[in-house]
Chains A and B, each alone.
Chain A
């Protein structure tokens, strides 16, 4: 049975690898690619995932029909190499030639040719016909270490130094999450050695083993490198409990427990104070009745579920990790599920947003939490990770509840009438058949409780008005059905 894919949520190993190695400013990539695989990655998509105008250290071999039909891609790569060399674009750089699905398709393994190029040229086989972007990143990181790195056994540790292994281009919210993890590491008593690859150069790769501890930002990639470095390592945390555990574990490894405990104490009184205040205030009362769904990387799914679900007590009614983990819904199943009904809040990518709009669902609050989808996440103050992340996420949810409430509160109907028009005559209210009432209740139960009162009044009025126009003496199930159908139509 062929494996069908709807609205693919992750890209290939080629993208993951290039989005990883191109962070290093002293690397230049020749992508063995047709024009589109180059321009989509280097500008059309990166413009809107990472808000960068152009990836400047990548050039395509520009595979065309001649290469596909027989000549192979080496002459094209060699040509591009000459152009880059002659125009000085490779000055002070290390050269990497990266394969793509299309170059792999025509069997173009260029490893043996690298000796003919300068700039320490190396071939990275991205295995794009097999691997997704996350594996691509993981493989690229370990490959960088193996090709440009040092020796963990002989490198002396510097106490207190910590690496952060993780963000690359195409990682949702990376700048803010990185900012927060850096803050936590320093708060716990560590000092940052290398942020790899986000803020690194090739020379930094050999310095990686100096760090006493590694922090891996995401569960999806980076662990292979962390293991190879032969130092203890931790995953970056989400939620109150995991973040506190993280700080304590890190401090234990670094021998800075006193400083870390002071930091945690201070955080509770500052960064985290809003969580405590809202917990005690009216906002906290809403958590247990506000449902949440999460479709994002496994890192975010686990982190948000632990924080919003286990810690804040919000019912998490739908989760699906990308890339898929066993038991998760793929987009074919997820789309059906969202069409049938969605939680009050849905964290996700543009795909989930599309499924909500297909279903005419305007009651669910969509919160961007994953790629794909065009979005700017470059502000440092919007983390999902760490202590600051808990505050940001709760603040987002509460403010959207306020927004929802505002939108359903009644507006004096006079504003909707043409000026000077006759006032609407009051009509006597009508009795409701029990079946009609049951139908109304069923429809209302699908709404977030904050909006129920207003919507209920609106629907009751609409049903009674409709019954009046039909000259009925009571509200029947047919009337409710007609009104609900009309409402559905309006929302589409």
Chain B
């Protein structure tokens, strides 16, 4: 398959369509408009493809929920403030076990914030975001190739676990252009018994999240929890970069991990043995894999474009096992690799 040069937002759209996405609804918001526009340009030319510019993000998430229940592969996308509006619907999809892809191209926040790249939505993405006892699988791509691959994989996992899956990237990744190869999508595996298409001559079905009996609701919660446990056991993804001889390891995801790689190159040129641990799934977080590293490395630095959110998960993994420092640039400020290299160098020899 040929390499094509495309921007991040367009890559997500193209990968989704190739993966069989046939229903997209979205509401304009920077910095992800190119994705909505890509879907507008391509979905209606795709057989059975539906594109709707919805009246709000709330409408968009409920439209994809309906289309998902009716058997389509579905996606919506937005950026931080719009993702806040989708939370009721994401919670509802988790409750009703409806597969669907939600793309968040994060921008600076809180509030309207700004339209610069940021990683301030980690808590929202990994802690459920909406109300109730549920989890969302969260992919954090760091390259355009990963945007393509993980978008396709997201559809498969959403079906496999009948769960919403989030792709969490930022404005930088949305705009960035890199050559990509679109892999061959897998055939869809999704049982008809979960799809509403009218009862025909058979028994009618219903899909609901309202369970008034406390014991039944408890059982539904435990059922979901068992599913999340299976996901946590099977779907963790991460990358280790130059950790074989590392004296110090940076923990970063997405754009921050790209910057960290640049910093590590500079530091290694100067003889500092620094490596990178990059979670690719933010939920489930590669907790034990990170902890395993602490057997040989005792000095970790978390770098995020936020005031420290993934830091909580790193602490759950490493507290008591190794030293954890943090460097953050929230609000849309994107540091250069050399700025980060300086920070890392200052922490490199610190052992107390």
Chain B binds chain A: no
Residues of B within 8 A of A (CB): none
Give residues in A with beta carbon < 8 Å to B: none
